[in-house]
Structure 1
């Protein structure tokens, strides 16, 4: 058996290469579905809804598998399914194959969601989770930039080729994880003497008790719901906003799609730089308390919402680009800090299931929010649709403020206790 790498190195390798492969696929997938598969706008929405519904249905069952059997096994299964899904979509250009591909890679994603975060939280306790997630996000940005460049080059020859190559490389990644991914600290969440179904129900109900008994987790899951409600609308409309509501500068004989490759690269590099600044802030500060993290998340989300509003209401290309890049940067920086904060509030034996519940709530939000924003954009305008998306994020500011208030009140009680 091959020598295992350290959990931290394995996590970073997974982060950079999975981001690279995803980026290769996603850079061309929308263009591929429109130009090669010939999907209509309604069918494009159906594809997105199929993916999110799959994630919603399978998040908790796959999270239970990770809590009962193995986080490593769950991640490997997920990577294999993602690879098979992308390969199917690239090889067969029909609506049916695209829909089946969404189901395959959607299930694969749920096997990884929660399991990967739970794995690194248990396997490497020498580095603070906040720093691990931020570093993982940073190397992911590097992988994504490389993926965008490769997809743009290869996509000039064939739109399906980056999708097929990306899917194949996911299968290679699964073999690497099988050989080198360590797992030494996993403890099944259910007693060994229970059968499979009783283990699953035991883990599920135990996790639900954890959620119900922890008001902070309830607030965090509520925040996730609003993230889900807003994300699908923005992701589906930002391209159309650039194409229909402003004039893209010409780039010689290159197609307008080239601009989106440029946007992606600039956005990734900008996010990587900002994340590095956040890392330095974490290292230079002696206080990395939950209180500080909540305050940072509140500030990030204020600028996140303001940036999206600017992007939505302007038709000037330069201002629109500033709003777009700022929105994506604050969104990217928000994710690892939020994940670290969430993980620090979860018990180890139910971590994967609670994280999967978090993913399921995000998917539910996208299922509900996507069509709603789509109806608004269809009946009014794309700009109004994106503005509505930004407004759907406003409640997270209230929820973060409530979390901040609870932490402040708790710290005051703790400080006063010795005086009694």
Structure 2
């Protein structure tokens, strides 16, 4: 515990570290083998695999606003505890019953739970510690999450070698245990309930959505960037749901000593995590993120490289090539996401920054929800290779759009984006008042 934190805050900070590290550990424990479990035990076909992801994304998309409102009205601590319990029961349900319908239901359950915790955890610790002291807490919590995720990956591979559903069941139990521990360890002394009632919150949401749709027709830069986000979402959804099936069908996974071949998925995820940390830090040091033109050029290059890497993965039949191309896709995506956020927020005042990020996140989710089932149908009726290739093809129009943004950077500078989002924010404020 850093000595600079006053003693009244230490209980909250310890609880936040436990939450960050524990949740990351539990998620990694389940996610490392969940795809293999759905393929080998539940026998899901490509369309079903994608529909599982679509159910999760749609749940989060629909539940984010109401659960966030409840956290503001009833308390962040309660929201976090309820969320952890729902996530735990969701994983228990999936691990206990390898059937498509129950797996979809589990996604809905733990997806709602995730939205209860999303944002509420950070809002809670900021309230308890204060804005002036919270920055180092966030950094240390991120480190705790990284360590927890790596430990969860390792344990998941070991447990899966014994029985494939053990990591998912263990994750569910540990989420419930984490909620139980935080019930006693997590203080909430400074929460102030929000002033809005439910009708006002939904009025804000409806007005923001309506105005957001209207202004996209008048401001091309926002429409272009939303389109890029949606295409990235479409490409990522198909790849994320089908990469494991491609490895199991087309690539021979050798045994790792006494461990079953499923342990390879633990190795793959562990290497992905470590490489992501390194690449993100190198990008932060080297890229000129203050330049709009530099960010646009970098995004164009990264999107092109990701397209090539996804095609190579789809065509690969040997383990070394499959691993190299998979890691390339994941690392390129890791760098692309924050740069995209930086591009759409370049020059945006802080008063509308959250709205910009929210619109961007929604466009990504819409791409995943709308495009995912189409990718699944290609995988079901043609082949998994074809589905992965179709996912990669979604990056072609995204690449062309980024080329347009780069070449016309003066005409498409974010001033219009600021104007349209500010208009949306003002409409939302009017509805709330």
**Please, what TM-score do these two structures have when normalized by structure 2?**
0.73
Contact 2:21 2:145 in 1 (8 A): yes
- Equivalent residue pairs, number: 401
Aligned equivalent of 1:146: 151
Q: CA RMSD in A?
A: 4.3
Aligned equivalent of 1:418: none
Query: How far apart are the structure 1 equivalents of 2:110 and 2:58?
Result: 12
Aligned equivalent of 2:385: 383
Aligned equivalent of 1:417: none
Aligned equivalent of 1:371: 373
Query: How far apart are the structure 2 equivalents of 1:38 and 1:381?
Result: 16
For residue 166 of structure 1, report the CA deviation from its aligned partner.
Answer: 1.7
Mark the CA change 1:169 to 1:27 in structure 2 (over 3 Å): closer, same or farther: same
Aligned equivalent of 2:337: 335
Query: How far apart are the structure 2 equivalents of 1:323 and 1:186?
Result: 49
For residue 104 of structure 1, report the CA deviation from its aligned partner.
Answer: 0.8
For residue 44 of structure 1, report the CA deviation from its aligned partner.
Answer: 4.1
Contact 1:60 1:356 in 2 (8 A): no
Aligned equivalent of 1:82: 87
Mark the CA change 1:291 to 1:43 in structure 2 (over 3 Å): closer, same or farther: closer
Query: How far apart are the structure 1 equivalents of 2:408 and 2:124?
Result: 29
Query: How far apart are the structure 2 equivalents of 1:23 and 1:209?
Result: 38
Aligned equivalent of 2:300: 298
Query: 5 Å matches for 1:20-419?
Result: 20-37=25-42, 43-65=48-70, 74-92=79-97, 94-113=99-118, 124=131, 140-174=145-179, 176=182, 188=194, 192=195, 195-206=197-208, 208-209=210-211, 213=215, 215=219, 217-252=222-257, 254-281=259-286, 288-289=290-291, 292-339=294-341, 345=348, 351=354, 358-404=360-406, 408-409=410-411
Mark the CA change 1:13 to 1:280 in structure 2 (over 3 Å): closer, same or farther: farther
Mark the CA change 1:25 to 1:399 in structure 2 (over 3 Å): closer, same or farther: same
For residue 333 of structure 1, report the CA deviation from its aligned partner.
Answer: 2.7
Q: Which runs of 5+ in 2 are unaligned?
A: 1-6, 416-433
Query: How far apart are the structure 1 equivalents of 2:63 and 2:369?
Result: 14
Query: How far apart are the structure 2 equivalents of 1:401 and 1:140?
Result: 36
Contact 2:235 2:392 in 1 (8 A): yes
What SS does structure 1 have at the residue aligned with 2:162? coil
For residue 261 of structure 1, report the CA deviation from its aligned partner.
Answer: 1.9
Mark the CA change 1:65 to 1:12 in structure 2 (over 3 Å): closer, same or farther: same
Query: How far apart are the structure 1 equivalents of 2:208 and 2:305?
Result: 37
Aligned equivalent of 1:416: none
Q: Which runs of 5+ in 1 are unaligned?
A: 414-420
Mark the CA change 1:390 to 1:238 in structure 2 (over 3 Å): closer, same or farther: same
Q: Deviations over 1:64-88 (max 9, x none)?
A: 5567776666555433322231133
Query: How far apart are the structure 1 equivalents of 2:265 and 2:34?
Result: 13
For residue 27 of structure 1, report the CA deviation from its aligned partner.
Answer: 1.7
For residue 33 of structure 1, report the CA deviation from its aligned partner.
Answer: 3.6
What SS does structure 2 have at the residue aligned with 1:288? coil
Query: How far apart are the structure 1 equivalents of 2:11 and 2:405?
Result: 34
Query: How far apart are the structure 2 equivalents of 1:408 and 1:119?
Result: 41
Contact 2:158 2:259 in 1 (8 A): no
Query: How far apart are the structure 2 equivalents of 1:307 and 1:170?
Result: 35
